[in-house]
Amino acid sequence: MKIIRETLSFDELKQMAVGLFGDLVKAVVDVDKQIMAVDAELHADLEAFLLDNGSKQKSLWGINLYPEMAGSDFIEFDSMINMRPSQNNRSRSVESEEIRKKIIEIVLRRIKQ
């Protein structure tokens, strides 16, 4: 697991994908701190890692990254940690368009093509 506070190259992301799932890397984005954790088997592990490093649970959202795809199409909003009825998010996706946009901006800033 790794916290991305600066940038990560697509080549590094591709290597992470090959190491675990072949075509994807699980990630959790902190929309307040504008950082992300990557490279674990479960989003819950990444979430716990960020919580241990000072993040707040309400700010964390799970995504999958597909490094073989281009642009924002490589981001998939699908994680069990996203199910939060208390935040009006009742599915594994990220239902708030505002939060989705923040996540996309953070990911595109942190991962360099």
The model's pLDDT over 33-84, given as tens digits with 9 standing for 90+, comes to 999 999 999 999 999 999 999 999 999 999 999 998 876 679 999 999 999 9
| Strand partners of residue 112 | 9
Q: Where are the beta strands (DSSP E) in the chain?
A: 2-4, 8-9, 25-30, 35-38, 60-65, 75-76, 111-112
Domain of residue 89: give its range. 2-112
pLDDT tens digit string along 12-47? Answer: 999 999 999 889 999 999 999 999 999 999 999 999
- ∠ CA 94-16-36, nearest 5°, is 40
Half-sphere exposure of 40 (CA within 13 A, CB side): 20
Unique residue bearing structure tokens 């674990």? 40
Q: pTM value?
A: 0.95
Rounded distance, CA 51 to CA 30, Å? 10
Report the number of distinct structural domains present in the chain: 1
Q: How far apart are CA 18 and CA 104, in angstroms?
A: 23
